[in-house]
A and B are shown apart, each in its own frame.
Chain A
Amino acid sequence: MQLAIQENIRGIEAECGGACACATCHVYIDDAYLHLLTPPAQDEEEMLEGVAAERRDGSRLACQVIVSDALDGMVVEVPDRQF
């Protein structure tokens, strides 16, 4: 999420600044990389229930995804809306 904001990626609002409190940094993670991420904690799981766009298997809140070298090449799709 921080990367998206620094690079001004449109469609990532991140209104709460990364506190897992607003569900406006919803993204779809590439299936091939999903298993490399720490699964969502309960609060993220709850916030994902309330995302504005369609929730899919690869849905995550970008603010809870920690980027590491293992994710090199991961494709992240931005949903059509955040609110």
Chain B
Amino acid sequence: MQVERIVRDEHKVLLSDGQELAYETLVIATGSRARPFLEDCAVENVYTLRTLRDAEAIRAAAETTEGPVVIVGGGYVGLELAATFRTHFQRMVHVVEAAPRLLMRAASPALSALVAARHQEAGTVVHAGRCVTGLEQVDGAVSGVVMQDGEVLPAGLVIKGVGILPNQELAVMAGLDCQDGILVDQYCRTSDSSIFAIGDCCRFPEAFSGRLVRLECVQNAHDQARTVASVISGKAQPYTAVPWFWSDQLGMKLQTAGRWEDGMTCAVRDESEKGKMSFFHFSYSGQLCAVETVNHPALHILSRRMILSGVFPEISQVENVDFDLKRLLA
């Protein structure tokens, strides 16, 4: 069943089968969809990954196609697939990223360099700073990916992982304020006080910085749902959660607590002899803003607690692997 329209002045939603539903409080949790890219090249064996059905289709295509896999987009989705195609299916893999480095939006340059190196060691060819302009085909199936400089990468299977668009159309139609995401306050309330929006589809004021951000992660969706539940049940708690993210690829467990931004100072905790590496990111004023860990779940959990409680280590304590960071929270 689809919602056709929100009729705000009558407090009801119209459904695609003609039914109407009255509401006192409405929550928009419409999520996001793959950003359209190369839509005019309607060829087979080109996929996006958003749903279980997409995943099943890609797995089927992994068995039925031959030749290199080209992944357009070096974000988490693209890299997890690149890892699986290399290690599980032993395919030749190219990752093409328009930005100068992998994980440009989600990770610091330090983590991004480490991840790129691991993918290259695994045999994946990483093309950073290069744009895709088209697809070539043979008999309706993709055969190559055309780069901006004219080079054509041969391809038997193409995955487009170039980000998402928030599903905000219903909100726009209803006249709610939107700006690449449905705008909400710290209680996830839209510009109409009886309508909330949560998850990928909304843009909210980040508690720490006050800046308006849109976050594409499951933690955000869960915690914003809790915020709205608290408002509806009369015990309103603003959304102040520390965001966290994770990705498993090539035997690495990548976890991020907080949110990295350009311009932060990075301190490295190098426990590479134990297969662990961590990057601590501090703001200009010395506040701990984000911690990226590789194969270090315990430190990830500890980092979430440190950021939340505002108890921060000194850079020297981060770098000294013999210093027990747990002591700071004791």
> Does residue A39 face the partner (Cβ distance < 8 Å to B)?
no
Contact residues in A for B255 (Cβ distance below 8 Å): 21
- A15 near B297 with CB under 8 A, answer no
Closest Cβ–Cβ distance, residue A83 to chain B (whole Å): 9
Given A19-B248, A21-B246: A49 and B218 interface contact (C-beta under 8 Å): no
Among B244, B296, B301, B302, residue most surrounded by chain A Cβ atoms (within 10 Å): B301
Contact with B along A6-19 (1 / 0, CB 8 A): 00000001011101
**Count of interface residues, chain B, beta-carbon cutoff 8 Å:** 16
> Does residue A43 face the partner (Cβ distance < 8 Å to B)?
yes
> Does residue B298 face the partner (Cβ distance < 8 Å to A)?
yes
Q: Could you tell me the distance between the alpha carbons of A50 and B246 in the complex, rounded to whole angstroms?
A: 16
Q: Could you tell me the distance between the alpha carbons of A4 and B225 in the complex, rounded to whole angstroms?
A: 20
Contact with A along B254-266 (1 / 0, CB 8 A): 0100000000000
- B222 near A15 with CB under 8 A, answer yes
- A49 near B298 with CB under 8 A, answer yes
> Does residue B186 face the partner (Cβ distance < 8 Å to A)?
no
Among B253, B295, B305, residue most surrounded by chain A Cβ atoms (within 10 Å): B253
SS class, residues of chain B in contact with chain A: helix
Contact with A along B281-303 (1 / 0, CB 8 A): 00000000000000111101110
Chain A contact residues (Cβ within 8 angstroms of B): what range? 10 to 19
A sample of 6 more A-B contacts (CB under 8 A), given A17-B218, A21-B297, A47-B297, is A20-B297, A21-B246, A21-B253, A21-B255, A22-B246, A50-B302
Binding site for B on A (CB under 8 A): 13, 15-17, 19-23, 43, 46-47, 49-50
* 8 nearest A-B pairs in the assembled complex, by CB-CB distance: A50-B301, A46-B298, A21-B246, A46-B297, A47-B297, A49-B298, A43-B297, A15-B222
Pairs A–B under 8 Å by Cβ, sample size 19: A13-B222, A15-B219, A15-B222, A16-B218, A16-B246, A19-B246, A20-B253, A20-B297, A22-B219, A22-B244, A23-B301, A46-B296, A46-B298, A46-B301, A47-B297, A50-B297, A50-B300, A50-B301, A50-B305
